[in-house]
Structure 1
Amino acid sequence: PNVDFYSGLIYQAMGFPLEMFPVLFAIPRTAGWLAHWQELLDQDTKIVRPRQLYVGNEPRHYVPISQR
């Protein structure tokens, strides 16, 4: 189990309604999400991987089973 499992047990013991659990799990992560977003906006930072280009086979058209 991850940390949300144990956090959920504590939230339940504290009397929070189950409907509030997703919000309570998301609030602490917001700082990390915003920091990651800010890094993505910085043009000088090369943290993000370069764009991947597909180099495999060309697209093939689907042939229905009845026509095979």
Structure 2
Amino acid sequence: MLASDGTAYQEYVLTEMGRGLFPVIIALRQWGEDHLYQPDEQHSVLIDTQTGEPVTRLELRSKEN
């Protein structure tokens, strides 16, 4: 394939294994936001490309009996 500037490139396609790692990366990001930033310090926000809304915080849940 050619990029818009005429140079050759290969498109990266995320694998199922890579998609499975996404929650881990997000959890690490949230940990960093909780522990490495001051309460009023700005940082980037993840946006859901389908809704345009910020990605909701991940939560660990267990099945209730």
Q: How does the TM-score come out when normalised to structure 2?
A: 0.32
Of the two, which has the highest radius of gyration? 1
Q: Which has the higher contact order (CA 8 A, sep 6+)?
A: 2
Q: Identify, as 1 or 2, the structure richer in helix.
A: 1
